[in-house]
């Protein structure tokens, strides 16, 4: 992976293992987290937020293990979350020690509603804590990210002041969270523009965005933010996360990829440049989506953009006819660009358990022996009735046989 500080690329910060794991029911053990982190590194994310080390012994150890095994010099930056408190920051620094490149991400809320009811602190106190805790994090690592939680509902003038203080104390990334998914794209874009224009020394830091999907606007908000100067996007695989989830990595990356000529000028590039806007290997997207879904147990809705089972399916006769004549009639991207390779190995009734297992692994589906046996029996049943078994059939078999049992 190349170091990403230049402003004509968009840094992809994956928080599947931290904010994504905050989805109800999506708890992952350390081994599962490591498996996902390895796949995120293959996908090419620039930063992996591996967890919140102070929150539990298990999370501490998972972050430490990822820092050790995935945080290689050529691998991604490994990041740990910490509230703006010394004990949190110390735990994050300790867990991240084995990583070749590490980042501490510290945060404190800035909206009046959070100050009054959650923190019970004044703006003056929050300003002071933000500065002191960024400086404290900086005493452990060079790469410090600061987030004013609930920025989307904070007074912009106060936000500018807090960000200025964080940068003065060494923050190299300032992340703007729409914590409750409240803003609209025009508002969020204007917020980023205001930050760029009003925060002294903002050019010393990368502007990042983080957002939740309560109104289904997270991805649209981020794209507007990129147009206004944001250069890091915090997102999760399949958009998993608190409540309605986080902005979805695959949607953001493919929007920037498919529409790169539209976005090029906002990043100071020639309109017709075909160079990629991110470091992501898009052909790893589908596999990563499957892996996260199978390990978290969170199913992907069939009509989910990019990775849903129907995302590249054409049902109506008119559409099928058009696609057979020329794919571009109804397809804006190639299924292969996200790694979908239906029928590369044709599975049929003569295929063995090993071929079956290998194909599932290629699709990012890693089953226990017991589940594999159940799924294989079902596969044989289906293969008796159907000549060729496609990747979609395999997913249906796994979903029917394993997830519903």
Residue ranges in contact with Zn ion by CB under 5 A: 19
Structural tokens at position 338: 């996200």
Is residue 179 involved in binding ligand KIV (CB under 6 A)? yes
CA distances from 108 to 85, 123, 175 (A): 9, 11, 11
What is the smallest separation between the CB atom of 20 and ligand KIV, expressed in angstroms? Answer: 10
Q: Mark residue 241 as left, alpha or beta (left: phi above 0; alpha: psi -120 to 50; beta: remaining).
A: left
Among Zn ion, ligand KIV, none, partner that 107 touches (CB below 5 to 8 angstroms by kind): ligand KIV
Cross-strand bridge partners of residue 78: 48, 102
Q: Which is nearer to Zn ion, 131 or 181 (by Cβ)?
A: 181
Q: Which is nearer to ligand KIV, 64 or 208 (by Cβ)?
A: 208
Q: Which is nearer to Zn ion, 99 or 218 (by Cβ)?
A: 218
What is the smallest separation between the CB atom of 312 and ligand KIV, expressed in angstroms? Answer: 31
| Polymer length in residues for the chain | 405
What is the smallest separation between the CB atom of 107 and ligand KIV, expressed in angstroms? Answer: 5
What is the smallest separation between the CB atom of 149 and ligand KIV, expressed in angstroms? Answer: 4
What is the smallest separation between the CB atom of 147 and ligand KIV, expressed in angstroms? Answer: 4
Tell me which residue of 106, 104, 107 sits closest to 118, measured CA to CA.
107
Is residue 147 involved in binding ligand KIV (CB under 6 A)? yes
Is 257 assigned a ligand-binding role in the annotation? no
- Sole binder of ligand KIV in the list 13, 54, 60, 107 (CB under 6 A): 107
CB-based contacts of 64-69 (< 8 A; 24+ apart in sequence): 64/94, 64/95, 64/96, 64/97, 64/98, 65/30, 65/33, 65/34, 66/17, 66/33, 66/34, 66/37, 67/95, 67/96, 67/97, 67/98, 67/99, 67/102, 68/98, 68/99, 69/34, 69/37, 69/38
Is 210 assigned a ligand-binding role in the annotation? yes
Residues ≥6 apart with Cβ < 8 Å to 316: none
Cα-atom radius of gyration of the chain, to the nearest Å?
Answer: 22
Is 19 assigned a ligand-binding role in the annotation? yes
What is the smallest separation between the CB atom of 277 and Zn ion, expressed in angstroms? Answer: 23
3-state SS of 74-99?
A: CCCEEEEEEECCHHHHHHHHHHHCCC
* Longest distance between any two alpha carbons in the chain, whole Å: 71
Is residue 148 involved in binding ligand KIV (CB under 6 A)? no
- Sole binder of ligand KIV in the list 149, 164, 224, 391 (CB under 6 A): 149
Tell me if 391 sits within 8 A of 397, measured CB to CB: no
Q: Which is nearer to ligand KIV, 88 or 164 (by Cβ)?
A: 88
What is the smallest separation between the CB atom of 98 and ligand KIV, expressed in angstroms? Answer: 23
Q: Which is nearer to ligand KIV, 177 or 364 (by Cβ)?
A: 177
- Sole binder of ligand KIV in the list 9, 210, 260, 287 (CB under 6 A): 210
Among ligand KIV, Zn ion, none, partner that 147 touches (CB below 5 to 8 angstroms by kind): ligand KIV
Nearest-5° Cα angle at 213, 279 to 188:
75
Q: Which residues bind ligand KIV (CB under 6 A)?
A: 19, 107, 147, 149, 177, 179, 210, 212
Q: Which residues are annotated as a binding site?
A: 19, 210, 212, 246
Q: Which residues are annotated as a binding site for Mn(2+)?
A: 19, 210, 212, 246
């Amino acid at each position: 992976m190349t170091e990403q500080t230049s402003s004509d690329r968009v840094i992809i910060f994956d928080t599947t293992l931290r904010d994504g794991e905050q989805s109800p029911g999506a708890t992952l053990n350390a081994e599962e987290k490591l498996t996902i982190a390895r796949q995120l590194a293959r996908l090419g994310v620039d930063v992996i937020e591996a967890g919140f080390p102070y929150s539990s012994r298990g999370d501490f150890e998972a972050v430490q293990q990822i820092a050790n095994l995935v945080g290689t010099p050529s691998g991604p930056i490994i990041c740990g979350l910490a509230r703006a408190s010394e004990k949190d920051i110390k735990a994050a620094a300790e867990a991240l020690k084995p990583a070749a490149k590490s980042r501490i991400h510290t945060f404190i809320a800035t909206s009046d509603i959070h100050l009054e009811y959650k923190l019970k602190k004044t703006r003056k106190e929050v300003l002071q804590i933000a500065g002191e805790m960024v400086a404290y994090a900086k005493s452990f690592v060079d790469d410090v990210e600061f987030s004013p939680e609930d920025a989307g509902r904070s007074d912009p003038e106060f936000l500018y002041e807090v960000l200025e203080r964080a940068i003065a104390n060494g923050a190299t990334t300032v992340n703007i969270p729409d914590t409750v998914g409240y803003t609209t794209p025009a508002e969020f874009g204007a917020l980023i523009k205001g930050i760029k224009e009003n925060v002294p020394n903002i050019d010393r830091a990368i502007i990042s965005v983080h957002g939740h999907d309560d109104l289904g606007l997270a991805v649209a908000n981020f794209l507007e933010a990129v147009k206004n100067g944001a250069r890091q996007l915090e997102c999760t695989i399949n958009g998993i996360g608190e409540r309605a989830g986080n902005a979805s990595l695959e949607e953001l990356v493919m929007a920037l990829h498919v529409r790169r000529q539209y976005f090029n000028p906002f990043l100071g590039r020639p309109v017709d440049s075909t160079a990629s806007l991110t470091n992501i290997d898009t052909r790893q997207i589908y596999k990563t989506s499957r892996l996260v879904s199978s390990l978290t147990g969170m199913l992907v809705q069939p009509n989910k953009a990019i990775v849903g089972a129907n995302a590249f399916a054409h049902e109506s006769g008119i559409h099928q006819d058009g696609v057979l004549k020329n794919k571009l009639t109804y397809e804006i991207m190639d299924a292969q660009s996200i790694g979908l390779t239906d029928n590369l190995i044709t599975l049929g009734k003569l295929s063995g358990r090993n071929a079956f297992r290998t194909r599932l692994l290629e699709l990012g589906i890693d089953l226990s022996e017991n589940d594999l046996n159940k799924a294989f029996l079902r596969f044989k049943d289906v293969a008796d009735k159907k000549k060729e078994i496609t990747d979609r059939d395999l997913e249906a078999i796994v979903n029917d046989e394993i997830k519903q049992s």
